[in-house]
Chain A
Amino acid sequence: MPLLKIDRLSRSFGPTRALAETSLELESGEIVALMGANGAGKSTLVNILSGALEADSGQIIFGGSPYKARSPAEAGRAGIVTVHQSTDRVGAPGLTVADAVLLNRYADRSAPFFVSRRTVRRQAREILTEAGFDLPLDLDFADLSAADRQLVAIARAVARKASVLILDEPTASISGPESERLYRILKRLRGEGMAILYISHRTADLQALADRVVVMRGGQVVGNFHRPVDFEKAIEAMIGRPLRSARPDIRKAAGGPIFEMRNAALLPGAAPFGFEVHAGEVVAISGVLGAGKSRLLSAIFGDKRLAGGTMYLDGRPYAPGSVREAIDAGVYMAAEDRHRSSLMPADWPGNSLAATISMPHLSTWFPSGFLLGRREQTEAERAIHRLGIRASGPNAAMASLSGGNQQKVILGRWNAEPSRLLLLDEPFQGVDVGARHDIIAAIRANSERATLIATSDPEEALEVADRILFIDHHTLKPATFSPVSAPTYEAAAG
């Protein structure tokens, strides 16, 4: 009898089936790694287990009886605790670490109404000792590293006598030695009989920890690999095709490089690396969340500084001091999460399709400073036509567009003026398959400039790029391709 038995669980969001009769079993004292590309259904599954979502159909048997949590608190009481990827919600700035450790006790009223610093410290120390950690109790939570915040969350889970611990990309934002420490802790908890469901793309994690790897794709479990795990097979199951498939329209790099980076360090102390991108080439940078993809792109776009190294654009040294300088040099970037990075709120000036496209080009298109003439409208009409954007017209509100069409507008913005290097950070976030196809075609249609795409999804990288670079812990892995060969996905990126 398994500890946790998930039986044909389904859940839809509108027309999208996020989970399609997923079944999965979990025993006590085992670490199961859950793998899957974006949209495979991992988060939906975790959210149902942790009580944040309800399933449409199917059932979960936990410890021999049916289980249905209506809130994370309820799931926690039953013994299923989730440690989320972003650990800043574990506590709050201004709370001490001891307070953060006891936070859920304050909330569920098991702590007395009046608390003294002494009892808080004592209880927090007891909890941390029980979990086997040593953390500075009086430190402000805001000053705690991401890895230590995770430990606070895990300690709370141990204190609640959780029998199932779910970890969502736990090593995404922590360093190598910190990961090692986490591995030791998780193995000890496994030895004490805890069942751990571990979500990660990082092969190093999986090799070090997983007793079993479960692969999800399209809302279903498509693979179940026992130790020793064949990771190449697992990744093939994850992306649903053989690894070394060549693109039909693969392009060879021609001429000199448009953009080059030498001895670059993204963070002080990170290993230096270098790479180059040629005209007409589409290069994907793949790596887990927090590996440094966005930082790399932001540094090229002048929004962050390199810790070291030099960049060259068209053979000349290039060191943008601001986003404006980068744009003026012909380096454009569509940043990750379009709502946060590119769009205006609904009902706010600049929320129309045309204004969204024109925003970085206002000074070029309206040199007088006054918004006169039809330039904005005609540029928007051109983008609508070229990219097949489905909208009521140039004045359509961005909020009225679907995710895919919004992303096309963002691409249209940076296609509106010629560029040397286009940087796209997670350009397929919240984009349906059809629109993704259009966007890839539009990206690849331009042979003048070089394109650099950051994506955490290897499947997307394979689909869009001529070649793929891997980034881990803020360093590009040595490239193992020749520009002429088909794109390769190196499974052992860790």
Chain B
Amino acid sequence: MTPIDHQTSAQTPALSAGALSISFDRLRTLVRTGAVFILLAAMIVGFSIAQPAFINLANQMSILQAVSVVAILGTGVTVTLAVGGFDLSIGAVAASSVMAASYAMIVWGLNAPLTVPLVLAFGAIVGLFNAFLIVKLRVPDLLATLAVMFLLSGLQLIPTAGRSISSGLILPDGSTATGSYDPAFLLIGRSALFGVVPVPVVVMLLVALALYILTEHTRIGRLLFATGGNEVATRLAGASVPRLKTLAYVLSGTLASLGGVIVAARVGRGDVSSGGSLLMDAVAASLIGFAVLGLRRPNVFGTIVGAVFVGILLNGLTMLNAPYYTQDFVKGAVLVGALALTYGLGRNTR
């Protein structure tokens, strides 16, 4: 947090007493809208000085690759937050998707062009089920998606009797699976566009662009936010709130399974424990996104920045030999800082 202090102390003495309060307000607005970018720049400069290898293109790309899955899941969280909901099941959807993709290829022997749509459809169906619980049965969103998270964490263990899935898997009935990962599928996680930009980063950017346009520049996006802002007003303006909510949860589920596809393609096997921290990281990215540009609301651009922010911080700290077990603490601290910035400074300016 030193950059803020530095800037404040540098500017305050220059102000005359009369203009102090006005300029202070303006400064506060500036800090609120630009703080994340100021910190981001300061971090990049700081890490580059401390460890010149940090600024390498290859390292930058590896940071983006590392955050791509979290960013994709985060955009899904953003959409559900926009409709005033919350999807706790995304981490479990991503993890089950890893298992589903592995099972489809290794046990059923499917190829990549069949596996990917199948897994995405799985995510969409989970989203539909969430929407059914929330919209039709009126189960509160947190409880419904928490239950589905539980359900999926258990479901993914059943087909293989709790084993991880890799080539030569012995099935519960004693037979041995004959399939293997389609090399084309592995390209999703392991190749790079023009040999520079990893495919997951390309996917992340495409998802980000599509969802940014959807949420900020389309009729549907306006109505998605309207649902979260004032459900009654949205209904009385003639929009179908159940359909909008369903759309949000289906999007969230599909994006989570897309994240699962990328994880599977990178890892090349179906680990039962994959995706453990994805939920928390994606939610954190989305909430840090509230602070980006000082919007104080879910937004896709902020979510991507939030994910990248955390990625850069962790990468830099790792390069400076910070132990891995401090990572969650660092993420938590960033989240607390971002929320304090969003709400604390925001309230004063009203």
Contacts and interface: CB of A to CB of B under 8 A. Distances in A.
Q: Do they bind each other? A: yes
Nearest to A338: B233
Given A347-B297, A349-B225, A324 B238 contact: yes
Nearest to B346: A347
B222 A355 contact: yes
A492 B222 CA distance: 48
A371 B236 contact: no
Consensus secondary structure, chain B interface:
helix
A348 B113 CA distance: 40
A327 interface: yes
Interface in B197-249: 213, 216-223, 225-226, 228-230, 232-240
B229 A340 contact: no
B296 interface: yes
A327 B218 contact: no
Interface string A329-355: 000010100001111110111110001
A370 B218 contact: yes
Contacts of B237: 323, 342, 359-360
A106 interface: no
B226 A341 contact: no
A350 B219 contact: no
Nearest to A346: B350
A340 B238 contact: no
A376 to B, nearest CB: 10
Given A348-B297, A349-B222, A362-B219, A323 B235 contact: yes
Nearest to A325: B238
Contacts of A301: 236
Interface string B278-308: 0000000000000000011100000000000
B233 to A, nearest CB: 5
A342 B240 contact: no
Interface string A362-379: 110010011110000000
A342 B236 contact: yes
B218 A348 contact: no
B230 A340 contact: yes
Interface in B295-333: 295-297
Contacts of A372: 217
Given A347-B297, A370-B217, A362 B222 contact: yes
B219 A360 contact: no
Interface in B120-162: none
Nearest to A413: B237
Contacts of A86: none
A303 interface: yes
Given A303-B236, A327-B238, A362-B223, A369 B229 contact: no
B233 A341 contact: yes
Contact of A371 (B218, B239, B295): B218
Contacts of B220: 369
Given A324-B240, A348-B225, A350-B226, A366 B219 contact: yes
A322 interface: yes
Interface size class, chain A = 20 to 34
Consensus secondary structure, chain A interface:
loop
A301 B237 CA distance: 11
A344 B229 contact: yes
A333 B218 contact: no
A270 to B, nearest CB: 24
A185 to B, nearest CB: 36
Contacts of B218: 369-371
Contacts of A342: 230, 233, 236-237
Contacts of A343: 230, 233
A272 B241 CA distance: 32
B178 to A, nearest CB: 46
Contacts of A341: 232-233, 236
A322 B239 CA distance: 9
B244 to A, nearest CB: 12
Given A322-B240, A348-B225, A360-B238, A340 B232 contact: yes
B299 to A, nearest CB: 9
Contacts of B240: 322, 324
A200 to B, nearest CB: 28
A301 B239 CA distance: 13
A349 B297 contact: yes
Given A343-B230, A347-B296, A323 B217 contact: no
Nearest to A399: B350
Contacts of A340: 230, 232-233
Interface centre among A328, A341, A349 (most CB of B within 10 A): A349
Contacts of A322: 238, 240
B56 to A, nearest CB: 39
Contacts of B223: 362
Nearest to A324: B238
A371 B219 contact: yes
A347 B297 CA distance: 8
B232 A323 contact: no
B334 to A, nearest CB: 22
B222 A323 contact: no
B292 to A, nearest CB: 14
Nearest to B216: A349
Nearest to A358: B222
A326 to B, nearest CB: 8
Interface of A: 301, 303, 322-324, 326-328, 333, 335, 340-345, 347-351, 355, 359-360, 362-363, 366, 369-372
9 smallest CB-CB distances across A and B, nearest first, come from A349-B225, A344-B229, A360-B237, A348-B229, A327-B238, A359-B237, A324-B238, A362-B219, A323-B238
10 contacts: A335-B236, A340-B233, A341-B236, A342-B237, A345-B229, A349-B229, A349-B297, A359-B226, A359-B234, A362-B223
Given A345-B230, A362-B222, 19 more contacts: A303-B235, A322-B240, A324-B240, A327-B238, A335-B232, A335-B236, A342-B230, A342-B236, A343-B230, A343-B233, A344-B229, A355-B222, A359-B233, A359-B237, A359-B239, A369-B219, A370-B218, A371-B222, A372-B217
